[in-house]
Amino acid sequence: MIKSTSYDQQEIIKRIISLHCPKGIECDPTYSKGLFYKNWDNPPRLKFDLFPKTEDTQKASAEALPLEEGSVHSLMFDPPFIVGHTKDRPTGIMGERFHGFRYIQDLWEWYSLCIMEHARVLKKKGVYIFKCQDTVSSGKQHLTHVHVVNEMQARGFYVKDLFVLLAKSRIVGHNHAKQKHARKFHSYFIVGVRQ
């Protein structure tokens, strides 16, 4: 039986492939160092990143891929989710690596552009896997997974499945002295099929 929850990201990805993507994942527009595919025999054929970290990764932004319309059978998207920096650019290891967004609206707007682009490059019945995490920004709860589901449906995807990656611990920031919302110990893998 394939379950929807796990503490192991690799396990969730293998479950998604087993259920929905038997040919494997063809494209990853935020490939980074390829840690999703560590010890895999068949990593994505198409690897892109805004700041490539491997020799076989092409430089491209996730919302503007150098691919033909309807040319990809599956796409894994693990975008940045850093929000709320107050300087010209984000700080910290994650902020420096992924160049986060100042406001949640900026992040969501970019997600929407990416979903539109990924709908363009995916074939009909192509599989779309979008990893995201809800967040609290400026003292307000933002249910990112709901935004992503709504945008996927608006762009012609059938949202076929949802997996939850659990975490045993999370880094707590400096501005969390008085808690107002439940701390997020999970993220989502939303699986859509291009109609």
> Can you give the pLDDT at residue 84?
57
Strands 122-132 and 186-194: antiparallel
Contacts of 76 (CB under 8 A, 6+ apart): 13, 25, 27, 28, 36, 44, 129, 131
Segment 49-62, tens digit of pLDDT? 999 999 999 999 99
* Cα dihedral 12→56→81→153 (10° resolution): -70
The 10 Å Cβ neighbour count of residue 158 is 13
Q: How confident is the model at residue 175 (pLDDT cuts 50, 70, 90)?
A: low
What would the mean pLDDT of 61-71 be, rounded to a whole number?
A: 97
In angstroms, the CA 91 to CA 178 distance is 22
Domains and CATH numbers, the chain: 5-194 (3.40.50.150)
The dihedral built from the CA positions of residue 34, 112, 156 and 145, taken in this order, carries a sign that is positive
User: How many angstroms from the chain centroid is the CA of residue 64?
Assistant: 16
Name 116's Cβ contacts closer than 8 Å, sequence gap at least 6. 63, 155
Is 80 exceeded by the pLDDT of residue 151? yes
Using DSSP's 3-state secondary structure scheme, residue 171 falls into: coil
Which of helix, strand or coil describes residue 124?
strand
pLDDT of res. 179: 74
Question: 0.95 exceeded by the pTM?
Answer: no
Mean pLDDT score across all residues of the chain: 88
Q: What is the pLDDT of residues 95-138, one digit of tens each?
A: 444 456 778 888 999 999 999 999 999 999 999 999 999 988 77
Q: Can you give the length of the chain in residues?
A: 195
Q: What percent of the chain has pLDDT over 70?
A: 86
